[in-house]
Every structure is written in structure tokens, then in C-alpha cells.
Chains A and B, each alone.
Chain A
Amino acid sequence: MADVSIVVVSHSRQLGEGLVKLLRQLAPGVDLHQAAGLGEELGTDATAVAAALQQCPETNDILVFFDLGSAAMNAEMALELTPQSVAGRTHIVDAPLVEGAVAAAVAARSRLPVADVIQQAEAARTVPKILS
């Protein structure tokens, strides 16, 4: 079974780096990358996303998490810029950035199959955060 890599795409470099730091603590050993910010400015860069995808180990499935709309667009664009051998293993996940990536990282650490990792990330959207 293939391991899962996680790529965080954010408009903010600090947000991307901060989330990766959080994930690293919660799920040590999981392969993590970020493509966040446009230099020191806010923005996303499809070429940076493509570079991050290509840094993932070549046997891993890759899950991409993103913050706002155009980050998703640049993630899709990155798939066009990478070889099919990479793009074919990449899944852009429609989930809340922080909660989704956390759920995925924890599931990936447990080495769940990629479909289950994605499912847990997507389910993060409806998990209540304040328990009554």
C-alpha cells in the first residue's frame, strides 16, 4: 500500500508553514510539503505547487489541501504542469484546510488506504468542534 504525502497550498506563506509545523507535530513521519505565498506577498503559484508535487516520493499518493478559491485553481493548473506519473497520483481534496489536513495527516500516519484518508479529510467539514 502506498503512503500518503500531503501538500498544503495557501495564499499565505506563514499559514502554509504554520500548518505544516502543526501537522508535523501531530503526525510525525508523514511526508509534508507546502506551496504557500508568492514570495513575501499573499498569493499562490502553480509552478511552486508543481515543484512541491514533484518532491513527493514517487510511490506515494499525494493529497493537496488548499485555502481559498484561486488556490484550488492553481492546484489544478499544477497538475497540467507535472508529468502524468505525478498528476495521476495526486488528489485535490475539497475539505477545510486546517481540520481536513489534520484529519488526513493523522489517518496517513495510521497508514490507512488513500481513499479512507480522503474520506476522513472530507468528513472534517461536518465534525462539530464544540462538543455539547
Chain B
Amino acid sequence: MLTIESMQAFIEAYAARLEELCAVLDDLDNRIGDGDHGTNMARGFRTAADRTASGTFQDLGALCQTVAMALLSSVGGASGPLYATAFMRFAQSWNVCTHVDYAKLATGVAAALEGLRARGKAEVGEKTMIDVWTPAADAIAAHPDETGLREAVSRATNAALATRDIAATKGRAAYLGARSVGTCDPGSISSAMFFEELADAIAGGVTKTTWQTSAL
């Protein structure tokens, strides 16, 4: 069950995780992009966490909309409008809900994925966060329960690691083309962390991956 409190806890935990792993994400992005994914994401979700911790929210719609607007005005790179789009679709899916069950969680994640595909104009296999969000959304939709959510985390993590072998055709890494092979997509890694923290906030007991630059 996702509640206003667990969503607030998720945003805080994800912000803290991004701060902790900021350098790892920046290093990855330095190899195949413009080197600021960790910095941008940490700044954006810290802004979002501060705004959501201090506010009171009638429903998950209002909370997710606040997160989206915070990300838009503080992230700066492509991850700003992308993650903001995900939260805007959450807000539309969970409007007037103070809590959502696993079925509605699945609906929201599917809507977010559709939003990301439309915003980023990317498909699976192009070394983007779509590579992670797609199997995660599929896993939750196939089993809208705690097992499905844990499966989503494991599939997200594996998919993020698998982006290492893909040549980028979208985003800043596309300038490198084949030279982007051998480095994981930073947006995919931050997405895998997203699902780890989301699942941990909802169901607890998630074993979190130790992301280390040398292995990515």
C-alpha cells in the first residue's frame, strides 16, 4: 500500500540515496554524457524532498504534482522533464487518492512509463531509462502485489546493468554512439535506485545494490 506518508518517505530516501551516490552517477555520466546526472538528480530530489516534507497534502495527486514542479525548476538536464513527467502521470493516476493498492500502483507506473516514452521519444534497447522502467512496469502489472513489486526491483537492477552493452542512440550519449558501449546508462542506474527506494518505502526489506563505478 502506497500512502502519502510512504510517498514522502520515499522522496526523502531517494534524495538521500542520490546524495550518497552522486559521484558514482556523475562519473558514469562523465564517461558518456555531460557529467552532471548525479549532481542534477541529487539537487532536484533534495528540492522535492524539502518541499514535500514541509507541506501537508490532501492526496497523492497533490503530493506528486509538487514533486514534479520541484524537479522541473531545479534539475536542469533531461532528467528534470523526464522524472517530472513520471510524477505528473502519477499525480493524474492517483488524483484524490490518499492511498493506493498494488493494482493502482501498477496503473500509475504504467502511465508514468507511457509519459516517459512520449517525452523522451525512446523505445526499449536505446540505452535510456525506458530500458529499466519497462520491465519494472511489466513486473508490477503482471503481479500487482508485493511479490510483483520485488520482482520489479530485481528486473530494474538487471536491466540497468545490461545497458552497459548497448550503443546509445538517444540522449547526450548518442553523440558517442558505439563508444558508449562498456558504460552503464546513468539514467538507468538512477531509475533502478528509484525502484529500490520506492519498493523499500512501500514494502520494506529491500536489499539495496551497492553501486560502484568500477562495476558499471
**Residues of A in contact with B (beta carbons under 8 Å apart):** 11, 38, 41-48, 68-70, 73-74, 76-77, 80-81
Contacts and interface: CB of A to CB of B under 8 A. Distances in A.
Contacts of B119: 73, 76-77
Interface stretch (B4-12, B82-90, B105-113): B82-90
Most chain A beta-carbon contacts within 10 A, residue among B73, B76, B84: B76
B204 interface: no
Contacts, number: 50
B78 A41 contact: no
A46 B76 contact: no
Contacts of A68: 172
B76 A45 contact: yes
Given A44-B80, A73-B78, A74-B81, 9 more contacts: A11-B76, A43-B75, A43-B77, A45-B80, A46-B81, A73-B120, A74-B80, A76-B81, A81-B72
Interface in B83-121: 84-85, 88, 119-120
Interface residues of B, number: 19
Interface of B: 40, 69, 72-78, 80-82, 84-85, 88, 119-120, 171-172
A70 B78 contact: yes
Contacts of A11: 76
A77 B75 CA distance: 14
A44 to B, nearest CB: 7
A107 to B, nearest CB: 28
Nearest to B72: A46
A70 B88 contact: no
A73 to B, nearest CB: 4
15 contacts: A38-B76, A42-B76, A46-B72, A46-B81, A47-B73, A48-B73, A68-B172, A69-B172, A70-B80, A70-B81, A73-B78, A73-B82, A74-B80, A77-B84, A80-B88
